[in-house]
Each structure stands twice: as structure tokens, then as C-alpha cells.
Structure 1
Amino acid sequence: MRHRSLRTARHRVIGGLAAALLGTAGLTLPAAAQPAAARPAPSEQTARAAETTLSGDGLALTPPMGFNNWNSTHCRAEFNEAMVKGIADLFVSKGLKDAGYTYVNLDDCWALPQRDANGKLVADSARFPNGIKAVADYIHSKGLKIGIYTSAGTKTCNTAGFPGALGHERSDAQQFADWGIDYLKYDNCNNQGVDAKQRYRTMRDALKAASETTGRPIVYSICEWGQNKPWEWAADVGQLWRTTGDISDSWGSMLSIAKENLPLAPYAGPGHWNDPDMLEVGNGGMTDTEYRSHFSLWSVMAAPLLIGTDLRKADASTYQILGNRDVIAVDQDPLGKQGTVLSSEGGRWVISKELADGGRAVALFNETDQPQRIATTAARLGLPPADGYRLRDLWQHQDHNTAGSVAATVPAHGTVLYRVSADKRWASYPPAAELRLGASPFTEAGTTAPVETALGNLGGTPAHQVRVRLTGPDGWRVRTTSPTQAATLPTGSRLATRWQVTAPQDATPGAYELTLRADYRSARGGEVSTGLPIPVHVVVAPPTGATYASDLPWLNAVNGWGPVEKDTSVGENAAGDGHPLTLDGTAHAKGLGVHAPSEVTYYTGGHCTAFTAKVGVDDEEGTAGTVAFEVWADGAKVLSTGTLTNADPAKTVTAAVDGATTVRLVTTDGGDDITSDHGDWADAAFTC
């Protein structure tokens, strides 16, 4: 784990015993991963090779799909033979096997801490009383495959220090093949400073030798966290390579990892995949909207899809996300292209993936905490000119036609995923309709706020008998002040509607959801219905005078590791485990503890004039951590500190926020990944 915040769980940087071993040997740690923003563009030759070279051994011609226990169990006792067999059973009974999920993978802690007298690995008999081969046989009997884990070091990454494969590559690879292993995840801890390329190539050769003697090929997953840029050298070593540190079950973590992986599209292709780590879908740290974004982004990036939740406890929504075959088909497209970023301005992402049938998958991804209109065109996606196109919504499983526009108002942290193709039958599908929203409304209890919406026809055919309606929660009043119907909506035209929305007098502050729906008929008479959730915030005006930010309710808070903390540092990953906010040895009683990347948004309602704070990297991070602090008033950046390290003195900042409706406190990672980036907004206060 490359986040210092996870000291009490699995630690991906070398620490404790490993550090002592390195110190004794006079060796140093590998260099930290280079930030995505500073990575050089791949050469034309390398990019061309990554596009066209197939895996010589025919392995992983599409990204591997399956399960890995680590994200849900870590090293707890529940990781055992019964769990693994139960996952295999669920793959079959829940349709996941038929959807393409193949591998049931064991992560760290499956072995005993010591090898036997012959230097062989030994399975933990408490966890796996019948041994690994018996588990492999069971999984194979289900028509599935099994994976296993070890490290390219003397010990694995768990703090208990199970045996690693460094110096035992031939023996361990042969043992894995004899057990019937189909997939090896090869980690990076306790590596004694041995060159990464050497370590990973040695295991490659060992796996090939074992395959020759057993006839069992093993997919090889290189897990060195992107520290040595494996995308530049590992295409002939393994079938996939980690590009980032470990993921955690949070929006900030998932987002930062996606941003690191997206620029590496030229290096991916059949038999060699960029791996941004396992899926967190279903583990509870994100909303279903965020999990759909997670799954959409991994699929459009042609990433391995390894389920990281305990499927025995998963709810229907989790299965619905993981089992979406329309989205899986994007990930598993045989052309093997990773999606590329067409635009990302203002957190509005357009990511396009070329498909084997000549079409495109396009993700309209909204990074921000407010609904956003995101748009592109068929031409911009690289599709040939045509009178119309087929537009399939891969989450709604609906087909429409478009004259060339591809657009949607995307909910906060949401993703709309389309498949766009030139189709001679395009006019047989109903026209695509785009629901649009003006600014997200804020209202105080008992007061009325205006809401503006529009329905646009993106199709190449008209929409008929058009009607829109807006509904709110119980007790809310909604009335219209302009037309809500149109007999016909021609191509490119819009029906704009103004509404007045009144919150109940006793409404408590917080986020509420209204629903905008549109109904219309296609030229052939088919009925079409579409909807858009509209967030409305019931707010309280900030008090007059100076008020600490930690004493005010926030509209939204996201954090790169663990939750945002009030009046303490972030501490570890759990809520409430922070320490006094400490900068330059001075403790501060009030403020916000964050971990980059982070955003905390407040409603100021035009009443406030200034924001002040003392900012820096919290002393709990020792000499580590790089954080940049920003203040945004509505959509404008009004303050930026530049990157601060733990060696820099805390900085006192004042930002003018006159007239702003909202103020966002933003921290970024300083451009060098998010390891140890604990930032403090000490003594943070608004003057209103």
C-alpha cells in the first residue's frame, strides 16, 4: 500500500522488518512513481507496438475478469477455503461466469509464514485445510480458473511477512503449476533493492518453464505499482501491470487512480493491459452512482475487472452493476483499445474507446459535485459522416438515434456510457432526447427557488407529443411558469421550462432530489420516457461575523483517503481516528483535516466576504507529503498556494469570496501522487 495512511492494514511501501533488512544490506528503496502529468509521451514506435502486438502465448487477449478477496477481507480469518468456494458457486449461480468472469484469485495470507524443510510453500491449514490444489480442483470443476499471490521479494506485503518468491522463482512457479494455478499476482514488497525488470523477468521465465512441464499457462500480473513504468518495458514480460498504488473504497482514491491510468492508453492492447487495480464496487464506501462511474471508467479503459467485494454479502444493486453485459462488452472488446481522453475541462470528461465493429464507446464522466452538461459529436469521436447514428445507453439499455450530437446532463460523480455507431437502420430508433438543467438550486426552508430545465431533440427524426414534468419529495410544492408540452420537437430544437420550487417550512438542511421526466413519441409512434435527477439543497445562511468552517455544515466533502475530519487531522482511514491539527509543531484546536485530492464545499449565499486559514502538511506525516491548497468562489479560483511540503512552514492565507454562493476548499496532490498527502486547513474561518 503506497498510502502512508494505511499503517494498520496492508502497507505497500517497504516498512518495519523490510526497512530493517534493507538498511542492513545497505540498499535503498525504489524511486517513487513519477506523476502522471510529468510522464513523457510514448514514442511513436512504442505506441504502435502496443497497438498491434498480440500476446505471443495467446494469454489475456482481453482484460482478465474475475475476483480477488483483498479489498473486502484483507488478512482476516474470513478469507478461507469456504469463502473461495462460495465465490466460485456464486459466479455460476448469479450469472457472473456467463457474463465473462473467469478467475477466482487468492491474495496475500494464504500461506504459512515459513517454508517447509524442502523450501516449498505451505498453505495455511486453518484457512485451507484441504490445500490449494483441492481448492483449484473445485474451481476448475465449475469451469472457472484460479489465481494466487506472492511477492517479488523475500516477504509478501502483509506485515506478518509471508514467504516471497525472490530467490525461489523456479520452485514456486513449478509448485503453482502443479497445484493448477492459472493466474499469478506478483507484488513488490521486501525486494531488497533488486532491479524490478530483473525480478519480474526471472519470474516470467520460471512461469514459462513450469508451463512447459505441466502444459498449464499462467497469466502473469505484475504488481509493482507503476514505480518503474512497466508500461514501457513489460509487454513481453507479463499480461498486465499495475500502473498505480492500491485503490481504496473512496471516491477520491478511485478518481486519482483513474487519472493516473488514463494517459497510458497507447501502451495497452491484447495480451498486455494497464491495470489500475481491483474493483471496489459493493464495498460500501461510495454511492451506487459513483460505483457505476468506477465500473464505466474501468471498462472504457480496458482495465482488468477483478471484483473486490464479498459476493456472499452483495446486494442486488452490486450484482446489477457488476453484471452489466453492455458495459462488460466495452471492456472485453476484441480490438483491445484503451479509451483516450478527448476533453476534461472543468471536470467534464469525454473518453472515447474505438471498438472492433467500427463504433465507439464514449464515457461522459462528471468529476464535479454538481450536475454538468457534457457533450461531443460523432465526428469528434472519429466516426464517418452519416445522416444519423445509433446511440445506445449502456446503463439504461436503450437505443436511440442521433443526428451527430452526443450529449447528456450527467449527475454529480456520474457517468453516462454510450455506444455510438453508424447504422443504416438509425431512423428506426426513436430520437435521442437530452434533458438539461440550469444552475442547481439552493433554497432555505419555506422559501421558493427558481429552476430552469430544457428538453432538446438530438435525433435526426422529430419527437411528437412531448411533455415534461417535475416532481419533488413529499411536502414540496412545484409549479410551472412556462409551457410543459409541445406537439412536435424537430431535430435540434428545445422545449424550455421554468419552474418554482418551494421547500417545506420544516425541511431540515441537506440535499434533496427532484425528478425531471420527459415523455414523447417517435415518428413511428413508439413511446419514450427519460428522466434526470435534480439535486436541491436546503441551506441555512451563515451567521454574521467570523465563524469557523468546522462549525458550519458543508454541502459536499470528498477526500483522497478516509473522510474529511473536523478539528482533527485525517489520521488513518477510519472516521474519527485523527489527531490534533499540528503545523510546525503548533497544535490548532479548530480546522479541517483532509487528504489530497480533496474538496469541501460550503454554502455562503452571497453573505461572506473573506475566508482565512493556516495551511500546510500535517506534522503527523513526518518528512512526507506534498499538498497544494486552493479556494474557489463559485466557479473562479481566488487563491492558490502552490505545492507545500512538510519542510515548508505553514502558510497563512486570505481569500476574497465577496458575493459567492458557494466556496470550495480544494487540495491537490502536488503532481506526485497522493502518498502521505495529509493537509490541514487550520483555524479555517469565514467572515460574513
Structure 2
Amino acid sequence: MVQGSSPPPRPTATKPGQSSPRQQPAAGPITLSTRRNPVRNPKRWLTAVLGVLTLTLTATVADGIVGPRPAQALNNGVARTPPMGWNTWNTFGCNIDETLIRQMADAIVNNGLRDLGYRYIVVDDCWFNPNRDAQGNLQAHPQRFPSGMKALGDYLHARGLLFGIYQVPLDRTCAQYFGAFPGSTGSLGHEYQDARQFAAWGVDYLKYDWCSPTGSINDQVARFGIMRDALAATGRPIVYSINSNSIHEKTGPQRNWSDVANLWRTTEDITNAWNTGQTNGYPMGIQNIVNVNVPLAGYAAPGGFNDPDMLEVGNGGMTDTEMRSHFALWTMMAAPLMMGNDLRSASAATLAILRNQNLIAINQDTLGLQAVQVSNDGTRRVLAKRLANGDVAVALFNQGGSTTTVSTTAAAIGKTGTSFSLRDAWTNGTATTAGTIAASVPAHGTVVYRVSGGGTTNPPSTFRLRSESAGRCLDVDNSNTANGTGTLIWDCHGNANQQISQSGQTLRILGKCLDIPTNATNGTRVQIWDCNGDTNQQWTFNGNGTVSNVRSPSLCLDVNNGGTANGTTVIVWSCHGNANQRWSRA
């Protein structure tokens, strides 16, 4: 079969070599360094430590609370817009103490960042005594935090800031897992006890990392759910931020975690590079993370946001243009804006990016929507984010290696009318247009306009559906647009016969709708047909990665017989959740 002019799939680079994590003493004074800290989860470290963590995920909590219950919808009243703040890890890793945290808090206040919304100060890994006390309570590290964590929280609160802390659902933190810090002080079996301790210390934000290569997504839902319930039981409003991807060989199945957490990481750890060639492994560059995070826009809402990881603005490794794109894209994606640089020595250029009030306003818009993809030809990418006052923010993103014009229209981003005002988020300059929205954008650059005027509808979003088992994308056979044309899997590319737009629960491709006959049974081939609004053309994206039909909810999109070759047909089959029924938006 000839598949038109489909380009080859994007090559996947092998993982670059990584050094071992910085070793830290269990006690004694430390010397703070601005040397960039290695990311915590390269796979090759797994053979350098005590071996693969194996443990049985039990459902009983040590202090008498039995769990986990099935995941309950999370509505804890916090994170109605994406949290903003600073985290210790990207620059300092384990090399932290209370003096550093206080200095950084003062810098946030003095640099005007607090008043722009950067309020959460999150103390990441290595803040704790390697041993719990005789009653099993967590303790501050006696040399690093001699005043204790309650005193640190009080210091932050007195300056109008909020206190964040780090813990893990299993027995060891990531630094402990890799032997960079002693002890085994994870929350496993101590969830309710630790939650009560955090509340007593005045904690406002918990970062909770899955630091193990083991565990299914069901294990993770259960274990993360225990801490969700433990935090709720304290009665204190605490932002709950989880990461299901730490150390895993492959980023876990995509899932809407809003029933479990306020924030959920969508990829492996970020690094200060534009493109590492990774699609689902360590380390992830800015472009790589954008490719994963953009298709997940439908998960974001007030109280629950996709988390593409902390900001690398100010940490080197990229051009100023790339740093500006990084920040602009994170604001458009309704991402938490957690700075990760040394704010005591931040340059004027870095502060200008972090203090951009136009972009912060887009990120903090009360609708809490993540930008959806309007178009993407592989070089020119357009994202649109509807705002509470009827405006639409549009990002014109140049993914290519040379300057090019990126363009769209007011209609394409969800605006109706004949006259519109454009405000450039970077220059604050304004212009008017009858409908065309365009800019000359440098390589790896992003121009953001706030579009006002006319009416507003939801902008469409486009994506591909990639099979987890085959790594190939759902494809309309030979780009044929006739009713009844079947679907199959093929190497992922950017042509129209793989580009899907979602309207409600219908999936549109080549101007038709993804469809099964009304009498479909196991083995019926998925096809395209004129859109008619019937339920056999409506689909549900489920939390386990499957896509089920609304008319026949027991039938899921399925790669026939688990095949992996180009041309393998896509059918419906009784939903079982195996890899050949799991799909990700790409």
C-alpha cells in the first residue's frame, strides 16, 4: 500500500550519558553551589545502587486507617489557577539548608516576584533527618534545618509566602533511592501521620514523587489516593502535586489525575535543553515536553492542571529566544509556574521573562483552560487559549531552525466578527486585523497575542492518536475520504489523514467523523463517515488510556490482534485495557 507522501517518523535519540547524583553527607555543614544539579532519574543509575526496588503495595496505613478507597473526585478548594512559586531542585538538588531557603524567599519579595503571584516556596528532596523519631514522625535535618520546619514555614508566611515540602508514597525518596542521601523516610505506612505533621508545620503545598521503576498505574492511583485522603483529613488546604513518572523507564500511561491531585506531572524530568530527542524518557527538553503536554489540554480545569515540570528559565543551556518560548508555552499550557533558578543572582533578562505580566495574566486566567492546538505542520504550531473576558490568547510557535512566518485566523482560534485588536504579550504593542493573525517568528521562538473584539467560541483542537502497543498512529487508509473508508495504524506523520479534531465527543478527520456501524460487534473495523451526531460517532477517552464508543460502551478502539506493522487495521473489541487498546494524543 502506498501511504501518500507520509514523512518518516521523528527519530528517537538514545539517552545521553549522565553522571551520578551529587553525594551528600548525613550531617554537618554544607557548601552551597550554583552548579547545576543532575536530574534525579537516569535509568543507568539503577544498576549503580542497591538494585531495583521491590515491595508489595499494601492497602493498610500504619496509624490505623485502612485504604485505599477507590479514587474520589478532588475538590479541595485550592489551585483554582496554576500555582506559582519556586522549587529548590533544578539548581540546588540536595544541596539545601534553611539559610538558602530564607535568602531565596527574600529575593522573591525584593525582586517583586511575590506581588506577581510567585508565592509557593517548595523545599524539595533532602530536607529531612535520615531517621524518623521514636514515634515514627518525620524530623527536619538537624544541621541543615536546625530551626525546624515549623519555623521555616513561619518565616515564609510572615513574608506573604506559602510553604511547600517534598515527600514520596513509597519507602525512599528519589535521592535515597539512588544513594545520594541516607535513610528510608518515605511515607509508605505513614501517610496519615505525615499529613498531620505537614499540617502542624503549616505546609501549604506537597510535592509527592513516585521514586521507583516498579508499580502499575493502578498501584499508583491507589497509593497517591491514600495521601490525597490523608491531606483532606487534616482540614488544612494543601495543594497536592504528584509525579507518577520519576525513575520509570517509560512515562506512565496518560491519565486525567484530577480525581487524585491538583497537579500531575505529564513527562519525565525536564532539563535545560531545547530538544533531547526523547519522546517519553529522561531527560526531556522543552520541545519534547510540549509535544507530550499539548494534546492533554482537555484534562486541565480549575483545581487540576497538567504539570510539564518546573521552569528552567535562567539556568542556561538555551538561547534567550528559547527561554522566552519556554515561559510563553508554559503560560499558554496553564502549567504551574515554579521557578528553578537562583533568584539571588538572576539576570535582568531572566527577570524580564519571569515578570512578564501579560503572560502571567494569561496563565492565571480564571477559566483555568489549557491552550488547545489549532494547527501544527511540523514547523509552524498554533495554540489558542480562551480567556474569561472573551479574549483569546494565541501562540505562534516556530519549531523550525530558521525564521518563518506563522499564521492563523481569528475564526480558527474561536473568534467571530470582522475586526479584532491584537496585543503582543512581549512588546505590549497593539494592532488591528480583520481576521489574519501572523508574525515573523525566529527559530524556536513564540509570539503571543491577546486577541480582543468580536464574539468567542471554543477553538478546535487537533491531535493524532498513537497506539501504545505499536507506537504508530491511527490513519485513514490512503487518505481516502469516501464514506466507509477504514482506519489502520501507520508511522506517525503530520499529514491530514492522521490529524484529528475533537468537537464534543466526536472525532473528526478529513472532514468526516470516526464511526462504527450501529450494529458493530467484536472485530468490526473503525471507519470514517459523514458526521451525523449519532452516538456511534461519539467516543469517550477513559482514564486508563482506552477510547470507548458511546453507543456501544463495552467496545474500545483496538489494534487488530495486537499487531505492530504498518497497515494493521483498527477495529473495536470488548474493552480490556491491554496495550493494544491504549492510545495517547500526540
TM-score (norm 2): 0.64
Which of these residues, 222, 226, 233, is aligned with residue 202 of structure 1? 226
| Amino acid across the alignment from 1:392 | R
2:196 corresponding residue in structure 1: 174
C-alpha distance after superposition, 1:443-471 (max 9, x if no partner): xxxxxxxxxxxxxxxxxxxxxxxxxxxxx
Which of these residues, 223, 233, 236, is aligned with residue 243 of structure 2? 223
Q: Judging changes above 3 Å, is the alpha-carbon distance between structure 1 residues 288 and 141 closer, same or farther for their aligned structure 2 residues?
A: same
2:538 corresponding residue in structure 1: none
Superposed, 1:273-288 pairs within 5 Å as 273-288=305-320
1 CA distance for matches of 2:128 and 2:413?
49
Alpha-carbon shift at residue 21 of structure 1 (Å): 5.7
Which of these residues, 380, 383, 386, is aligned with residue 412 of structure 2? 380
C-alpha distance after superposition, 1:52-88 (max 9, x if no partner): x996221100001000011111112xx2111111121
Q: Which has the higher strand share?
A: 1
2:447 corresponding residue in structure 1: 416
| Amino acid across the alignment from 1:68 | N
8 Å contact from structure 1 (residues 66, 305) kept in 2: yes
8 Å contact from structure 1 (residues 186, 221) kept in 2: yes
SS at match of 1:346: coil
2 CA distance for matches of 1:167 and 1:279?
32
| Amino acid across the alignment from 1:249 | N
- Confirm whether residue 355 of structure 1 aligns to residue 387 of structure 2: yes
2:88 corresponding residue in structure 1: 69
Superposed, 1:494-573 pairs within 5 Å as none
SS at match of 1:140: helix
2:429 corresponding residue in structure 1: 398
2:106 corresponding residue in structure 1: 89
8 Å contact from structure 2 (residues 52, 213) kept in 1: no
1 CA distance for matches of 2:253 and 2:49?
23
8 Å contact from structure 2 (residues 104, 343) kept in 1: yes
2 CA distance for matches of 1:369 and 1:20?
42
Q: Judging changes above 3 Å, is the alpha-carbon distance between structure 1 residues 228 and 190 closer, same or farther for their aligned structure 2 residues?
A: closer
1:329 corresponding residue in structure 2: 361
2 CA distance for matches of 1:65 and 1:248?
19
1:114 corresponding residue in structure 2: 131
2 CA distance for matches of 1:141 and 1:249?
33
Superposed, 1:2-41 pairs within 5 Å as 5-9=17-21, 10-12=39-41, 15=46, 20=51, 22=53
Give unpaired runs (5+ residues) of structure 2.
1-13, 22-38, 58-71, 276-284, 456-582
1 CA distance for matches of 2:584 and 2:305?
23
Q: Judging changes above 3 Å, is the alpha-carbon distance between structure 1 residues 243 and 161 closer, same or farther for their aligned structure 2 residues?
A: farther
SS at match of 1:207: helix
- Confirm whether residue 238 of structure 1 aligns to residue 250 of structure 2: no
Which of these residues, 131, 140, 144, is aligned with residue 157 of structure 2? 140
8 Å contact from structure 1 (residues 390, 422) kept in 2: yes
8 Å contact from structure 1 (residues 152, 191) kept in 2: no
| Amino acid across the alignment from 1:197 | V
Q: Judging changes above 3 Å, is the alpha-carbon distance between structure 1 residues 319 and 307 closer, same or farther for their aligned structure 2 residues?
A: same
Q: Judging changes above 3 Å, is the alpha-carbon distance between structure 1 residues 71 and 153 closer, same or farther for their aligned structure 2 residues?
A: same
The aligned length equals 392
Relative contact order: is structure 1 or structure 2 higher (C-alpha 8 Å, sep ≥ 6)? 2
Q: Judging changes above 3 Å, is the alpha-carbon distance between structure 1 residues 69 and 290 closer, same or farther for their aligned structure 2 residues?
A: same
Alpha-carbon shift at residue 284 of structure 1 (Å): 1.1
1:164 corresponding residue in structure 2: 186
Alpha-carbon shift at residue 251 of structure 1 (Å): 0.7
8 Å contact from structure 2 (residues 415, 454) kept in 1: no
1 CA distance for matches of 2:406 and 2:430?
19
1 CA distance for matches of 2:305 and 2:167?
20
C-alpha distance after superposition, 1:615-665 (max 9, x if no partner): xxxxxxxxxxxxxxxxxxxxxxxxxxxxxxxxxxxxxxxxxxxxxxxxxxx
2 CA distance for matches of 1:312 and 1:375?
39
8 Å contact from structure 2 (residues 196, 234) kept in 1: yes
1:80 corresponding residue in structure 2: 97
2 CA distance for matches of 1:231 and 1:21?
25
8 Å contact from structure 1 (residues 282, 309) kept in 2: yes
8 Å contact from structure 1 (residues 367, 412) kept in 2: yes
Percent identity between matched residues is 48
1 CA distance for matches of 2:393 and 2:199?
38
1 CA distance for matches of 2:118 and 2:40?
28
2 CA distance for matches of 1:61 and 1:5?
39
| Amino acid across the alignment from 2:241 | S
Alpha-carbon shift at residue 344 of structure 1 (Å): 1.4
SS at match of 1:235: helix
Alpha-carbon shift at residue 15 of structure 1 (Å): 2.5
Alpha-carbon shift at residue 90 of structure 1 (Å): 1.8
Q: Judging changes above 3 Å, is the alpha-carbon distance between structure 1 residues 265 and 173 closer, same or farther for their aligned structure 2 residues?
A: same
Alpha-carbon shift at residue 672 of structure 1 (Å): 11
- Confirm whether residue 260 of structure 1 aligns to residue 279 of structure 2: no
| Amino acid across the alignment from 2:109 | V
8 Å contact from structure 1 (residues 352, 360) kept in 2: yes
Select between 244-253 and 124-133 the one with higher mean Cα deviation: 124-133
- Confirm whether residue 57 of structure 1 aligns to residue 57 of structure 2: no
**Which protein has the larger Cα radius of gyration, Structure 1 or Structure 2?**
1
2 CA distance for matches of 1:84 and 1:300?
29
C-alpha distance after superposition, 1:286-342 (max 9, x if no partner): 111101000000010000000010101111111110010100011111111100111
SS at match of 2:271: coil
Q: Judging changes above 3 Å, is the alpha-carbon distance between structure 1 residues 279 and 3 closer, same or farther for their aligned structure 2 residues?
A: farther
Alpha-carbon shift at residue 242 of structure 1 (Å): 0.3
RMSD (Å), alpha carbons: 2.5
Q: Judging changes above 3 Å, is the alpha-carbon distance between structure 1 residues 285 and 188 closer, same or farther for their aligned structure 2 residues?
A: same
Alpha-carbon shift at residue 384 of structure 1 (Å): 1.0
SS at match of 2:107: helix
8 Å contact from structure 1 (residues 54, 271) kept in 2: no
SS at match of 1:171: helix
SS at match of 1:231: coil
1 CA distance for matches of 2:266 and 2:52?
26
Q: Judging changes above 3 Å, is the alpha-carbon distance between structure 1 residues 306 and 3 closer, same or farther for their aligned structure 2 residues?
A: farther
C-alpha distance after superposition, 1:568-615 (max 9, x if no partner): xxxxxxxxxxxxxxxxxxxxxxxxxxxxxxxxxxxxxxxxxxxxxxxx
| Amino acid across the alignment from 1:100 | G
8 Å contact from structure 2 (residues 74, 261) kept in 1: no
| Amino acid across the alignment from 2:429 | Q
